[in-house]
Structure 1
């Protein structure tokens, strides 16, 4: 039976000409054939026909995918952007809940800044204390790790162990999560092994953390830098680790698990571990006495010079600027500061890049007798506050709102079932 108007068999697959497919896709006819060559579209030449034809359903599906990729639509209820009231980055400044973050960090301790991020309210004199049970569980787990375990390994294990000691961890109410937050941050610090014997866990969080990073006595000027670094690094909008935290919270993972998701991402050399690379570079410059040969080796090897440039700041990273100003007041930091300036000036002959917070952290850790991994520890502990703020915010949104659809670019189905030993790419494997 045939349709009287089109002459097409009733129930037959509807097919489009090249011109019709191009119009539906909003592209030129040449682009339609490019889709065919890339395997995104299949064509067929009809008997007696002068050109190729395309399955209408397949063309329509490709048009929908193209619209999703161009941001004109979403799928599966997923959101193309994340609503947040926590951090705004604007030119060369950034803000925590509308307040200049650098000014906030200059006037308040890390604990007070964390409370502001979590609640939008300041708690003067806020102090975090870790309960005995989660600290004991976290320390046992951390102590069982091999000696070569890195700081993020320890923090990740500590977070998981502390969760097992909290029977209320699945309560996602704001009050319960805030209680978890105020206990988890100091628990992570307490789980790290002290560097100097006889270290006592008392006083502000920065003082407790110092004893786990350096064997030197803590002077007030250095503690001020450490506390300021924690506050400045507490959040930075949707960095990779923060996005991971929000995805976990969107699935209603508890706060410990959400923080663990962030710790899993932060270990990358392009994120939390970047300060360690800058630390090592700084020590090499101090050893050589000049940045020129060190920068030459980095560029010759095709490596990016660590500690320089930031994709969100066209000028100097405001966090670096604030820390460098404090480090100027510490005589012991003078050689490392001079080396950092040499790195910036030498690299500027090739590419005009400003110092970022990783280089500022490297100056602090190198001049304080801390290992190269200390910056990673500071970053992770600091960012825990921001992660929890984002988890709290995400718990108030629709669940699973961050579920993007994949854009499938594999072979077009249907394909025959693979034979025994056949590889996924279509070749034959061994027995």
Structure 2
């Protein structure tokens, strides 16, 4: 990651690499990845089955075993912005948390069978680099046990918002890493925007799986982008409301499905962070400005301005860029991001106006989707012959996952460790 000369000098004295991550942390994380992922471009752990190639996610490096559950949340005070026939706003979230005993609780898949079938259809449409066939997305498993009891110890809470058109499941690797180190991580789907959302039961939507309305990048379309970000910020704040209800002993799930034991007791809502990628990065930065309950945020290559009226010019700044951040904000970027100049036009103001509370890091040799699970899966797809080298480079860059994954994980975790004081 890039840094100023003074930053590098301080980092050298502190034992920190250019990613802003302690070198010992990177070494430990890389060791945990060995044997599981394609680390050097020649070895892979994916398997071929009748359903296609199965890709694997990197193992978390923390000391905690993981539990996971999903919540179907309904906001009856908002209409759905993407479908006028839906009178409420429905949101799906996944909660990863440090677990107690996990025996007898199955390991959860990354995607449900219905979501995986939909992703096979929509993934290539949203991300042209992805193969149209040949991948068994339903076979990829997490490292978290569905429904396992939570450890009844209050933990800092982190909210995650994915990239535009992406489902929350594509942020599983980083979420598991953070949870394994003592956080409760809540990944949020934004229906209508997300690639696909699989609802567990009755829904106001007409079908069980809701697909994205996007047909490409929403950023060039001013109305789409504004609606997406406003909706995402409102979703994020609503999820935080429902977590408060959960911490107070109530069940916020729309169908009242059983919750993992002690889940509410694991939430310390006095310590809340948010992180997001691309449109999700925009979302969490905007939410940091709007909602005082959020103590710190990481935006991974999220624009901090609206779509410019004239291409190549600056757009209307979000308030956090116009006025600066008054709480910690980390801006993470990739060295090979194709739209870096436009991103810089919105990042420069917040860096200049935040009185040292905003900082920037750039991961050299990486591209935009390195901040998602594609950092792990794209190299495996390339080795399996399902993705070209050019497509892999366009998606996540040339940087090997043995370097990129620990760097991204380490930067996000070090930031929240510093500002939320996890113990």
Normalising by structure 1, we get a TM-score of 0.28
Query: Which structure dedicates a bigger proportion of its chain to strand?
Result: 2
Q: Larger Cα Rg: Structure 1 or Structure 2?
A: 1
Query: Which structure dedicates a bigger proportion of its chain to helix?
Result: 1
